[in-house]
Structure 1
């Protein structure tokens, strides 16, 4: 069933947005939660056991948002590097809180085994507004490329530039929500002067592998761990999830670099994007966070066994 609006309320159908439409869109964005309260306060608690680095700052109008990354103490250049990113899409809450809870609950167990680098909330402006885009109506997760138009993406690229070739595993934590179909896809179509088609939102967890460097056994190991916590998304009648062919239960593939996705930013052998479904009647917010944590731990464990 098509739950998306017949016409997005901003812009003229078939005509890309100009400055006026973007300004109208921005004027409608309001804060629903606090980055300082929800995220920065947790990061402050972590400072006693981890190194916290400010790697950039977002400045939108009168508002400024510091960007933070967390590293283990006693960084050892002889150990492999694991990168965890969350909140690239600010509205995908379990990516942010799953990353932070992973550090609090499990990071100490990897001491002396890996170097951990975690950027838990890449898009804090969007986190506060429960949105996919930044304040310029740009999707950071289509902007991880040189001369990026999104400062969220450009800042993270600068952070990882010195270690890009040394990362063993990168896991990027995301969600697929009902609002992808009711709000964000229609908004994208309106912004670009296109027309939106309804899309079936899968009920359950799934992963996105890299078309150019598929690592199916790695993805399957993560699925096996996560299904102990929450259910795995089934394929639809076409054998697809979100319009892409299912290559194994709960696993699809995207050309990560071509699409400018966050999971493409290193040359890691093992990389994946998680997709949790927080709107499911079968899952609680706590389960969604736990699914992200289980995915991170399973991904690290597999990578260490196969390094």
Structure 2
């Protein structure tokens, strides 16, 4: 049996023509949407979601192309843009009766959340981004041999064909690599959850690659357009991330502050999968954000 968030109800929510997302909903109160990262599904929020559900309606979708959500074929380069995926999130919240909501994302989900905050400021009341930089800044800071840590970014940025073929030849080795090397506490991802992540990724190679490919193309264009016109995040923003800026030679807080005037930037000592490794710390940080 596929693991699920205990005491949450699951449903499929249409977000655009022919595309529906798998969504877990629990709790009651002001709405909070939680977006997962790579190579995970909504299950990464299982501990944090349970804590927040005591005082909030918590909405945990699988992003388009991931988990049990639909995986439309890429057609025109926009199918997996963060703008399209952000519109999905707004559509899910509205379908569940929420025109305004707080939003938190990790990894890929944080990039979707960032775009939602820029594109839909009327809907997003508070924004949290975990362990990423905005796409435009991410590419700017990757350089030299230290950029080898992001080899997957360059692989999946290649034209369609080769990345999908290579990853599909050994999907468990590829996706499992990140589950192994990005955590400081392997026990935080138990065997059944790990298996669920690998099963989901194995079935989603083309859409996952399309998501990453968009981040080397159209997502950069969208970020640059906002930077050129002075677009910023108008809501309170919390960023939690490892201090990998020190290794790569940049000031993460300064980069984020250029996008988010009302920013709290907090370094963490846990691994990349912080919602699973340190759920109490992450839930507490989200509560602090929501109190602002």
Structure with higher helix content: 2
TM-score grouping bracket, smaller chain normalisation: 0.3 to 0.5
TM-score by length of 2: 0.45
